[in-house]
Structure 1
Amino acid sequence: MSRVGIEQIRTFLAVYQLGSISRAADRLGLSQPTVNAQLTALEKGVGRALFVRGPRGLKALPAACHLAEGAGPRLEALEQFIRGSIAFTGAPGMLLTVGGPADLTTTLVLPTLAGCRESGTAIRAVFGTDEQLIDLLTDGCVDLAITMRRPSVPGLRAVALLEEEFILVGKLDSMSAEVADDANLLARNTLPAVACEADLSMVRRYWTAVFGRALDEDLMMVVPDTRSAVEALRRGGSVGILPHYMVAEAVGRGELAVLCSTVKLPSNPIFLVDRGEHMPAHIAGTRDQLLMAAKAWDLESLVSAVSGVRDGRVDILRRDLRHFQ
């Protein structure tokens, strides 16, 4: 089944209730060709005809009745929610919804956007996969989306927001100094490696590229998300490969150490996506604010913000693996 948009459902419900494309067009303020095109696209999306066209108008088929019974109340509830959200801001058009992956959005984006409340903009956040977020952005349910890949949907604009680096970190007091400073010993270390389910391929790739051997997955602790992984590292004797923004606070506080700062770490681009140049001022301003803030979202800047170190490199990042081969 093809993707079905909210506007298609709204148009379908008007046609279903009025039994006429022309009357539905008048109610919705659309042209008849537009209504007909949306109805045709919806029928193609659901894979079956919804109406029989006759001399007296349209006759709803059973599939249309079933769709109207299910979609009608849900669309009404959604519209009531949106109206209530706008009323919450005290001014129409001043609600901003941003979507992104849960860990990055919680750690970096929402603290940055907290300042928007001072300008009268209410912030709402939704979490999801790239596909879910792009669908929400296309349907107008999200104003800005943060994705792990550049979307190819026409009408959407994507710019690079930051590079997500994967950092090898560990708790120094859980291993000897000899192990912590020697890549070969670290690779053979029997401490469990902590990894997030979504990043397992990156961990395997890193271990093979850096240490020249496969990771012993019998010694791996796999957790649902990166926040759980960071907590496991802080509390136990482990090593882990995690996104830099997730470990920066623990590194800045001295709870974790970067174990392999000399190695070129793998990275993934992260994108900020919107619906193009013509957008309300509060959305455009928030977009600019995120792009400006992201300039300080590299590991060293984030660690400095926590530790208070401002002059040169952060001490904890000077740790090199002296015998790295």
Structure 2
Amino acid sequence: MDLALLRTFVTVHRAGSFTRAAALLGLSQPAVTGQIRTLERQLGRPLFLRQARGVTPTTIGDELAHRAAPHLDALIEIAETGLDSESSGVRTLHLAGPPEFTSLRALPALAPLTAQGLALRTSFFGKNEETLEGLAAGHHDLAIATARPRGGLLTATALCDEEHVLIAAPRWAARLGHNVLRDGHVVLEQLPVVEVHESLPLVSRYWAAVFDSRPASSGTVIVPDLRAVLECAAAGAGLAVVPRYLCAGALERGEVVALLDPPVPPLRTYFLVVRTGTLGLPPIARAHEWLLRAAVDW
């Protein structure tokens, strides 16, 4: 069986689409379609059911993917190991995840491993789907995700929970009084909102958990980086919802204040995700274990 065809098959299986697989492989969609048809002819069985949006693997396709994917990943690792040993002996780990958490949590935790011969290459993604698609296609070795992936080709381990805090500059908090925060919509009517996206993902999640409602306002400042969101809120641009680890220092310094202290604060879980079978590879296993140890204190 041609390994190039097998690699294309595994990529399509992980991506769920010929179009996405073609982009991940750097091929045209007709080339990917042709390779899958060639493999299906060789096996004498259909591997995917074509649908209006993407493809769904047949039972034979699922079985082949589960049997072949770990071995294909191992072959890629062997090839990369050979390249590393011919140069400096440094092993490279490709890490992907959200920019803020990866920058402030994961990378500092992994920094000591560089003294043990591990090199790090990092990719930032704002959308969870982009992170997991890149991991499935083999562009990354280890990913930090905000949702557990479906299916058996990716394996996820819960890493830690992040608490979300509703914050604003002290001058805005002083205007609200003591009883204004009983209803979420009242806050949004009185304060502008700083968020990472027009859909207000963090504010909406907070409102649903704390007020059992949806925010009625739109964002005043939209900036796709939580660190910038925090700086804008501290400068008085409006209220924001940010992770506690990100705003803890600003809270201690009085640059922002927490507008609420709910009995059960909204949480978001982070997951460490690998391609199934790759935790047996030393660089990935070491980084995976290192992050889990560090997360105990997060």
Q: How many residues align?
A: 242
The answer for the alignment partner of 1:4 in structure 2 is 21
Matching residue's letter, 1:229: V
What displacement does 1:145 show? 0.8
My pick for the range that moved more, 246-255 or 231-240, is: 246-255
Q: Where does residue 7 of structure 2 map in the other structure?
A: none
Structure 1 residues 202-225: Cα deviation after superposition (integer angstroms, max 9, x where no partner): 413534664577645267433323
SS at match of 1:288: helix
Q: 1:167 to 1:95 in 2, by over 3 A?
A: same
What is the CA distance between 1:178 and its match in structure 2?
6.5
**1:227 — aligned with what?**
227
Distance 1:208 1:228 in 2: 24
Change (3 A) 1:276 1:183: same
Aligned to 1:58: none
The Cα shift of 1:134 comes to 2.2
8 Å CA contact retained: 1:174, 1:238: yes
User: Is the Cα–Cα contact under 8 Å of residues 164 and 242 in structure 2 kept in the other structure?
Assistant: yes
Matched, 1:190 2:190: yes
Residue deviations 1:29-55, cap 9 Å, x none? xxxx89956xx979x89x9xxxxxxxx
The structure showing larger relative contact order (alpha-carbon pairs under 8 Å, at least 6 residues apart) is: 2
2:12 matched residue in structure 1 = none
- What residue is the counterpart of 2:115 in the other structure? 118
Percent identical: 28
Cα shift at 1:117:
1.0
> Which residues of 2 match residues 83-232 of structure 1 at below 5 A?
86=84, 90-91=88-89, 94-128=91-125, 129-176=127-174, 179=177, 183-184=181-182, 187-188=186-187, 190-197=190-197, 200-207=200-207, 210=210, 215-217=215-217, 220-232=220-232
Name the stretch that deviates more: 120-129 or 243-252: 243-252
Give the CA deviation at 1:107: 1.9
Aligned equivalent of 1:64? none
Superposition deviation, residue 234 in structure 1: 1.6
SS at 2:190 equivalent: coil
Report what 1:79 is aligned to: none
Give the counterpart letter for 2:94 in structure 1.
T
On the 8 A contact 1:137/1:144 being kept in 2, the answer is yes
Q: Secondary structure at the residue paired with 2:140?
A: coil
Aligned residues of 2:153 and 2:276 also touching (Cα < 8 A): yes
The aligned residue for residue 286 of structure 1 is 287
The 8 Å contact of residues 208 and 214 in structure 2, kept in 1 or not, is answered as yes
Give the equivalent residue in structure 2 for 1:240: 240
Question: Normalized against structure 2, the TM-score is what?
Answer: 0.65
The answer as to whether partners of 1:183 and 1:211 remain within 8 angstroms in 2 is no
**Based on CA coordinates, which of the two structures has the bigger radius of gyration?**
1
2:133 maps to a residue whose letter is D
Q: CA RMSD in A?
A: 4.2
**1:163 alignment partner, SS class:** strand
Which range moves more in the overlay, 248-257 or 154-163?
Answer: 248-257
What residue ranges of structure 1 are gaps of 5+ in the alignment? 22-32, 48-81, 298-325
Would the alpha carbon gap of residues 228 and 161 (structure 1) be closer, same or farther in structure 2, given more than 3 Å must change? same
Partner secondary structure for residue 230 of structure 1: helix
Q: For 1:247-287, what per-residue CA distance to the aligned partner results, in whole angstroms no more than 9, with x for missing partners?
A: 23322433222221234222222210112454222221111
**For 2:264, what is the secondary structure of its paired residue?**
coil
How much has 1:179 moved relative to structure 2?
A: 2.4
Give CA-to-partner distance per residue, 1:39-86, whole Å, 9 cap, x none: x979x89x9xxxxxxxxxxxxxxxxxxxxxxxxxxxxxxxxxx79994
Q: Which runs of 5+ in 2 are unaligned?
A: 1-16, 55-79
